[in-house]
């Protein structure tokens, strides 16, 4: 009789364990339900990362090799001219923004709500800020990346960058690019 009681306890225990296991597995599968990936958005983010690297590398190289005193054409000015040309050709929009609060050119201050929020977020240490917008039925990615005081030479013309940590963002690149 005792053995019989033990056996039924064992069976009950096995049943409860199996039930718990299945309910856990069920939950796991429910959470892992494959979310449809937005591949076009992923590709656009990748394009922005690539452009960001190309633009920033160019500015550093130009500053290193061609900007030796305050009268030389600053890489920032050259970058703005390049951004205008790229924008006019319809590839994407990109703006060089101030994040220090003291821009050389007021035109470079954050203008709309996205840019203002981007400056705020990147200054607080975020490496990336983005929003997806719709214009005339088309989707666009707006993305912003930080510009730190990359080199000593930057302070030659931007007095206010002196004394900042090398990683403090003093500027932002703000992109608006179609999601195709």
Task: Name the site residues for ligand HEC (rule: CB under 6 A).
Answer: 59, 63, 67, 70, 72, 74, 76-77, 80, 96, 98, 103-105, 107-108, 147, 149-151, 153-154, 156-158, 170-171
Core vs surface per residue 59-95: b (16+ CB within 10 A) or e: beebbeeebeeeeeebbbebbbebbeeeeeeeebbbb
Cβ-contact 155, 31 below 8 angstroms: no
Q: Cβ of residue 154: shortest distance to ligand HEC, in angstroms?
A: 3
Nearer to ligand HEC, 41 or 72 (CB): 72
Tokens of 36: 């449809």
Nearer to ligand HEC, 41 or 117 (CB): 117
Nearer to ligand HEC, 12 or 81 (CB): 81
Q: Cβ of residue 126: shortest distance to ligand HEC, in angstroms?
A: 17
CA distance 165 to 74: 22
């Amino acid at each position: 009789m005792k053995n019989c009681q033990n056996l039924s306890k064992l069976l009950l225990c096995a049943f409860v364990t199996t039930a718990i296991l299945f309910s856990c597995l069920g939950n796991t599968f429910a959470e892992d339900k494959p979310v449809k990936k937005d591949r076009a958005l992923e590709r656009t983010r990748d394009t922005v990362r690539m452009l960001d690297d190309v633009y920033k590398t160019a500015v550093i190289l130009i500053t290193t090799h061609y900007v030796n005193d305050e009268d030389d054409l600053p890489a920032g000015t050259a970058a703005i001219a390049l951004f205008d040309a790229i924008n006019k050709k319809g590839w994407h929009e990109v703006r060089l923004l101030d994040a220090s609060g003291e821009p050389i050119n007021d035109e470079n201050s954050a203008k709309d709500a996205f840019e203002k929020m981007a400056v705020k977020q990147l200054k607080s240490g975020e490496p990336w800020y983005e929003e997806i917008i719709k214009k005339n039925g088309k989707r666009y990615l707006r993305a912003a990346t930080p510009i730190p005081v990359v080199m000593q030479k930057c302070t030659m013309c931007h007095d206010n960058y002196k004394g900042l940590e090398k990683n403090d963002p003093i500027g932002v690149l703000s992109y608006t690019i179609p999601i195709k």
